[in-house]
Amino acid sequence: MTCLLEARGLCVPAGEKWACRELDLCVRQGEKWGILGINGIGKTTLLHALCGLRQAQNGEIRLKGRLLSKMKRRDIARIAGILFQDSEDHFPATVLETTLIGRHPHISPWQWESIEDERIARESIKAVGLSGMETRRADTLSGGERRRLALATLLTQDPELYLLDEPTNHLDVRHQIEMLERLSLLAQNPGKALIMILHDPSLAARFCDRILLLFEDGHLLGSREDILTEANLSRLYHCRIASVEGPHGKIFFPA
Structural domains for the chain: 3-254 (3.40.50.300)
Mean pLDDT of the chain: 94
Q: What is the pTM of this model?
A: 0.94
Least Cα distance to 195 among 210, 181, 205 occurs for: 210
Residue 223 half-sphere exposure toward CB, CA atoms < 13 A: 2
90 phi-psi bin (left φ>0, alpha ψ -120 to 50, beta other): alpha
Environment class of residue 50 by beta-carbon count within 10 Å: exposed (0-12), middle (13-18) or buried (19+)? buried
Is there a contact between 212 and 220 (Cβ–Cβ < 8 Å)? Answer: yes
**Cα gap 47→67, rounded to integer Å:** 17
* pLDDT tens-digit readout, 34-52: 999 999 999 999 999 999 9
Higher pLDDT, 189 or 202: 202
For residue 43, count CB atoms less than 10 angstroms from its CB and return exposed for 0-12, middle for 13-18, buried for 19 or more: buried
Per-residue pLDDT reduced to its tens digit, 159-183: 999 999 999 988 999 999 999 999 9
Q: Do 218 and 176 meet the contact criterion of CB atoms below 8 Å apart?
A: no
